[in-house]
Amino acid sequence: MVQIDRLFNEINPKVGDFTFDENVARVFDDMISRSIPLYSDVQRLLPVLSGLLDHPVIKVVDLGCSTGTSLIHLARALPDRQFELIGVDNSQAMLTKCAEKLDALGLQDQIQLTQADIREFEIRDASIVLMNYTLQFVDLSSRSSLLARIRQSIRPGGFMLVSEKVSHHQPVMDEALVELYFEFKRRNGYSELEISRKRDALETVLVPLSVDGNQQLFEEAGFQEIELLLKWFNFATFIARVGGAESQ
C-alpha cells in the first residue's frame, strides 16, 4: 500500500540534509508522484522508445532505480519483448522497498537489483541507460566521467534517457519557474512548511544544471544525437542516442 508523504510536516520536526533512507523509502512513491511534474508521462515514454529498438534482447540499466517504478512499468507494458532489466541504487532502503514491490507483483525474477554507487558501477552492452532524477544528486565533479562511462557502455542504436530538475540562466526567470513549481506542490497537497523544509533539505544535495549545461555534458561524453523530449518549467527529459548500424 502506498503511504502518504508527511515527512516534512509539523508533526515531524526533523530537518537535515535529504537522504534516501527508510523514512523516505516508505513514502517515496507518493512523494515522487506529488513532487515531479509529468512523472507518469515520463514513465509512458520508456516503453514507446524501447519498442523502437531492434535489439533482440533489450538490456535496460536503470541508474538510481529507487523503488523500481520505471522498470516495473516497462516489464508490464511490453510483455512480448525480451528484456534484461537491471536496477542500480546505492540506498539499501530504496532497494528493499523495490524488492517488496517486485515480490507483490510477481516480477522478482524479471528485474535484477544491485546496490552500488553509480559512479563506480560497471555497465556493459546496454541498449538503454535510464537515469531519471538521479544525475542531479551526483556531485558535479563526477558527472562528466559517469556520462563518458555510460556512453561507452551503450550498444550502437541504443540511448540514454535522462530526466532532471533544471535551472535557468536568468535569475528572475529561475525564481518564477521555481515559484510555479511550488504552486504545483501546493496543488498536490503540500503545505508551505513542507515545501520550504524540503527545499532546505535538498539545498546542498540536489544541484540542477541548465538545459544547455546538461546537453553540453552529454555531447562532451560522446553522445551524437541529443534531444530535449519534454520540458515542464524547471524539469526536463532528454534522450541522448548512440548512432550505429542498428540506429533507427
Residues lying near ligand SAM in the complex (CB under 6 A) are found at: 20, 32, 64-66, 69-70, 89-91, 94, 117-119, 132-134, 137-138
Q: Pick between residue 176 and residue 202 the one whose CB is nearest to ligand SAM.
A: 202
Q: Pick between residue 116 and residue 173 the one whose CB is nearest to ligand SAM.
A: 116
Q: Decide: 28 and 51 in contact? Cβ < 8 Å.
A: no
Report, in Å, the least distance between residue 245 CB and ligand SAM. Answer: 30
Q: Decide: 37 and 233 in contact? Cβ < 8 Å.
A: yes
C-alpha grid cell, residue 144: 562528466
Report, in Å, the least distance between residue 36 CB and ligand SAM. Answer: 8
Report, in Å, the least distance between residue 185 CB and ligand SAM. Answer: 15
Report, in Å, the least distance between residue 207 CB and ligand SAM. Answer: 12
Q: Pick between residue 43 and residue 110 the one whose CB is nearest to ligand SAM.
A: 43
C-alpha grid cell, residue 172: 528572475
Q: Which residue is nearest to ligand SAM (CB)?
A: 64
Phi, psi of 24 (to 5 degrees): -70, -45
Report, in Å, the least distance between residue 170 CB and ligand SAM. Answer: 26
Instruction: With residue 13 as reference, give the H or E element that holds it.
Output: none
C-alpha grid cell, residue 234: 524547471
Report, in Å, the least distance between residue 122 CB and ligand SAM. Answer: 13
Q: Decide: 223 and 240 in contact? Cβ < 8 Å.
A: yes
What does DSSP say about strands 57-63 and 209-210: parallel, antiparallel, or unpaired? unpaired
Residue 141's CB is within 10 A of a number of other CB atoms, namely 7
Report, in Å, the least distance between residue 172 CB and ligand SAM. Answer: 27
Q: Pick between residue 64 and residue 157 the one whose CB is nearest to ligand SAM.
A: 64
Rounded Cα distance between 71 and 77, Å, is 10
Q: Pick between residue 32 and residue 38 the one whose CB is nearest to ligand SAM.
A: 32
Q: Pick between residue 26 and residue 176 the one whose CB is nearest to ligand SAM.
A: 26
Rounded Cα distance between 145 and 221, Å, is 8
Chain centroid to Cα 2, Å, comes to 19
Q: Pick between residue 12 and residue 19 the one whose CB is nearest to ligand SAM.
A: 19
Rounded Cα distance between 211 and 238, Å, is 9
